[in-house]
Amino acid sequence: MADSTLASPHAADDEETRRDFLLIATSTVAAVGTAFAAWPFIDSLNPARDTLAVAITGVDLSPIAVGQAITVIWQGKPVFIRHRTAAEITAARDVNVDQLPDPQPDSARVEKPEWLVVVGVCTHLGCIPLGQRPTDAKGDYGGWFCPCHGSHYDSSGRIRKGPAPANLAVPPYRFLDDNRIEIG
């Protein structure tokens, strides 16, 4: 006698299809839920808004007279911007680069010869060199002088004398026009 409780042969296929659908739907919901739960942690790895705000600094150069220097803050560091005189440009170009502790020609440090833009942090121990104010000691080479350990920089920000191992760093910058730059 045949068992009337046995399902038709198509019932097994319907059961497998429903099981596959439930497995796929549950997996999809779990994946989306995991992504939503993980997003705050992933997003926390991005830089903070205040960090992004200082990542790029715009500077108007028009009020800076020839021979004058200003200091702006970029990424929490002082950046020295000097409108160099013709004498400073000539002195910076006429240096024998082979005799420098960190040889670098002036042309590699500036985009326009009359404007020098350097990070104002001594490369020896991170002090802030003097030379931005007209009354500051500018060192033996007319640039900057770090009184903490006696490093002397020239008008191109190159180390000339003292314990500093490298030139003042040149930050990434570009001229937007003749009177404006963007640092960063």
What is the SS3 assignment for 5? coil
10 in active site: no
Measured distance CA(85)–CA(67) in Å, rounded: 5
Give the separation between CA 18 and CA 102, rounded to whole angstroms.
73
Q: What is the mean pLDDT of the chain?
A: 89
Task: Please report the pLDDT score of residue 20 as a whole number.
Answer: 85
Print the SS3 string covering 33-45. Answer: HHHHHHHHHHHCC
Cα–Cα–Cα angle for 164, 170, 174, rounded to 5 degrees: 175
Domain boundaries, the chain: 10-46, 52-183
Active-site residue, selected from the candidate residues 10, 83, 149, 152: 149
Q: Which CATH superfamily is domain 52-183 in?
A: Rieske [2Fe-2S] iron-sulphur domain (2.102.10.10)
- The predicted-structure confidence for 105-122, as pLDDT tens digits, reads as follows 999 999 999 999 999 999
Q: What is the pTM (predicted TM-score) of this model?
A: 0.72
